[in-house]
Each structure stands twice: as C-alpha cells, then as structure tokens.
Amino acid sequence: MNGVINKTDGNFLHGWAVSDIANQGLILGPYPIYEIDVDEIVTLRAKAVMNIQTPEEDQARHFNKVPIEKFYKAKGIQQIVDHPVDYEDEQRMYKDLAEGATRLNDLINGRGLKVFLHDTSSITRGPTLAIVYLCMYLRHPDWQNPEAVEKYLKKLHPIGEPNMLAVHNTIEAYKHI
C-alpha cells in the first residue's frame, strides 16, 4: 500500500537498551513500553523513575503512562517523577537540566534510591542530564572535567550522544546550586 507520512520523529529508537551507570545510583534508558521493560529496570534494582520527556512527546507517540506506572508500583518502584526537559528554548533547557540534576541528587543521595532516568531514546537528553548531575553534585572523580565524565558515561552507555554545549552552559549558569 502506498501512503504519505505526515509526521516525522527525529529520534530513532535502538531497541530496548538500558545502562547501569556503575556505583552512581543511576540507570539510563529509553521510555519503557512493556511490562518486560519494567522487569529489567527492577532487576537492576531501580526504586525510582525520572521521566524527562515532555508531555508533547508523550502525546505525539500516543504513549499512555498509566499502564507502565501500574507496573512500576506493582513491582516496587517507590517514586515516579515527571521532570520534562525541553530542548526548544536554550535558557529553559539549562534551567530544566539544573533542576533535574537537583532532583536526581535528592532521589539518589537524599533518599537513597536507585533511579531509572529516561527520555525518549536515551541518546541525548538522558546522558546530558546524567553528566550535569555527575559534575554539579561531585559524583565522579573528574567532576571538574565534563569531557572526562562524558567519556566515562559513554563507556557504560555507548548509544549516548550528550549535548556537551548544554552541559557546559548549564554548569556555568547554575554552579551556585
């Protein structure tokens, strides 16, 4: 059947691939769709989930969070946090990333929870936020060198292509946190 595609999506999902960021209390991955995805997150000992997709992204993908959130709760996920990081406005993005790093710090270090951090594909935003968190909250030995933290993260999460300009600009703008 011939047809016309009237919608495009710049994210190409590479399948379900999650990465446990060693000794950091953090798991990176794309948004879960099936119960088996939640099972893998739980196997990695996640007790919290942070979704950084925007509501518009969820809507565009016809993503219904209700069934997934039921799976989370049934399988022992204690905390579910929606913290959209929007790339449409740079200044807003930096603020979203800094606030997201603060929320991760609270969940991981304040509450002692291991967090599954997801965006749509886990290629850019999730790894970007992870690096901002690791640098701003001194969670990596090379926290003053974002490129070294990027190298560390990419060893553990090879599909990641973090936005290093956003990392640097966020850290510079919000280093007072």
CATH code of the domain in which 51 resides: 3.90.190.10
Instruction: Spell out the residues 6+ positions from residue 161 whose beta carbon is closer than 8 angstroms to its own.
Output: 123, 124, 127
Sheet containing 115-119: give its strands across: 19-21, 26-30, 115-119, 48-51, 79-82
Residue 144 to residues 109, 128, 140: CA-CA distances in angstroms? 19, 15, 9
Q: Which residue has the higher pLDDT, 15 or 137?
A: 137
* Model confidence pLDDT, tens digit, residues 123-164: 999 999 999 999 999 888 899 999 999 999 999 999 999 999
- 4 inside domain: no
Q: Among all chains, which residue has been given the structure tokens 């997934």? A: 68
Domain of residue 89: give its range. 24-173
- 81 inside domain: yes
For residue 174, which amino acid is it? Y
- 17 inside domain: no
- 8 inside domain: no
Radius of gyration of the chain (CA): 16
- 9 inside domain: no
- 16 inside domain: no
Domain count, the chain: 1
- 1 inside domain: no
* Model confidence pLDDT, tens digit, residues 16-69: 789 999 889 999 999 999 999 999 999 999 999 999 999 999 888 888 889 999
- 2 inside domain: no
